[in-house]
């Protein structure tokens, strides 16, 4: 596709794309400090906080990427009735993301608080509860998904960070319902039990995630190994396509009939945080907009190259992508 083709795609098709992100919702909080001394009461460094930043994380970050790109975006998952949810809700509202699918629970909203010194993470605090959610809570989530499918969706992203949403039973129900409506499903996988993603249209793992399910790990710079790993994933877990992110080596798209290796556009890999979220989001946007899978992989790779140059979680914008394509 030419530069004009991409500009036309964003101008005429992206704003019509209706995408639902389902999965583990997180809030990321960053506290930036100056470390110049140790505490008098303990042998620990003291960070004088000079700046703070709140950022949508995990499934919420995927939704943030989609909204920034111009898609009509909804998000669904479990949250708590707490201060962190209030912060999360304000952030979602600012981004124009529909949050009707957030199901309130008695557990805390999953939140990661990071203490930073410059670009270095010194410490992290996690607020979460991994207790199984009730059948009633999952039924409420399923009912919301059914309503959105009946209202017309163009793509679904299942965002799994092993925080309780993406059980095998729930994933199977979402994938089955989506396919009954002709809606493709993109999965952001986690852990080792990928059989729960069976029949998904795409999974978007990085090499580290792939290596957790292989007997022999692969390297990021080995094209042939990336293709073999993709075909193994497709065969073993009954997944239709694989888009593997390979950091400084770009991405590999493996389909039933072909494989494409696309080198990264990043000149320097600064921070890989959030790049996988961006790939899942941009691929879902491309599928929702009717692009060919290889074009979706191409633009996802361009977007990931931008995020790799950023510090911390960063949600891509339409202008970011168009400027990178023009360059």
Residues with a catalytic annotation lie at 277
- Give the C-alpha separation, 111 to 6, whole Å: 36
Q: Where are the alpha helices (DSSP H) in the chain?
A: 3-12, 59-69, 83-95, 135-150, 168-180, 207-211, 223-237, 275-288, 293-307, 318-326
Whether the CB-CB separation of 97 and 67 falls below 8 Å is answered with yes
Terminal-to-terminal C-alpha distance of the chain: 14
Structure tokens at 324: 């990178």
> What angle, rounded to 10 degrees, do the helices at 293-307 and 318-326 form?
100
DSSP single-letter state for residue 206: B
Whether the CB-CB separation of 21 and 72 falls below 8 Å is answered with no
User: Three-state SS for 84?
Assistant: helix
Structure tokens at 290: 């009717």
Q: 244 - beta bridge partners?
A: 252
> What angle, rounded to 10 degrees, do the helices at 83-95 and 59-69 form?
20
Q: Rounded to 10 degrees, what is the CA torsion of 239, 271, 291, 241? A: -10
Whether the CB-CB separation of 138 and 157 falls below 8 Å is answered with no
> What angle, rounded to 10 degrees, do the helices at 318-326 and 3-12 form?
160
HSE-CB of 303 using CA atoms within 13 angstroms:
31
Say how many residues make up the chain: 327
């Amino acid at each position: 596709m030419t530069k004009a083709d991409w500009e036309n795609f964003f101008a005429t098709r992206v704003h019509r794309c209706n995408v639902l992100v389902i999965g583990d919702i997180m809030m990321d909080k960053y506290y930036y400090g100056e470390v110049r001394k140790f505490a008098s009461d303990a042998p620990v460094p003291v960070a004088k906080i000079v700046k703070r930043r709140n950022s949508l994380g995990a499934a919420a970050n995927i939704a943030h990427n989609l909204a920034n790109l111009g898609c009509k975006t909804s998000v669904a998952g479990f949250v708590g009735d707490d201060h962190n949810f209030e912060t999360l809700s304000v952030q979602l509202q600012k981004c124009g993301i529909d949050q009707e699918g957030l199901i309130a629970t008695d557990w805390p909203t999953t939140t990661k608080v990071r203490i930073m010194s410059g670009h270095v993470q010194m410490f992290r605090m996690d607020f979460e509860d991994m207790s199984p959610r009730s059948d009633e809570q999952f039924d409420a989530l399923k009912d919301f998904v059914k309503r959105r499918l009946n209202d017309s969706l163009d793509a679904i992203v299942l965002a799994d960070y092993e925080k309780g949403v993406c059980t095998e039973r729930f994933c199977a129900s979402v994938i089955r319902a989506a396919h009954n409506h002709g809606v493709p499903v993109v999965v952001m996988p986690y852990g080792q039990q990928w059989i729960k993603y069976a029949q998904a249209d795409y999974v978007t793992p990085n090499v580290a995630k792939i290596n957790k399910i292989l007997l022999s790990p692969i390297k990021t710079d080995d094209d042939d190994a990336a293709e073999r790993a993709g075909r193994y994933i497709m065969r073993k877990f009954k997944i239709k396509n694989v888009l593997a992110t390979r950091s400084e080596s770009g991405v590999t798209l493996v389909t039933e009939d072909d494989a494409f290796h696309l080198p990264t556009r990043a000149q320097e890999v600064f921070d890989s945080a959030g790049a996988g979220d961006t790939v899942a989001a941009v691929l879902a946007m491309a599928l929702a907009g009717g692009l060919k899978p290889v074009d979706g992989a191409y633009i996802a790779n361009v977007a990931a190259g931008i995020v790799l140059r950023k510090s911390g979680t960063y949600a891509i914008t339409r202008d970011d992508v168009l400027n990178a394509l023009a360059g």
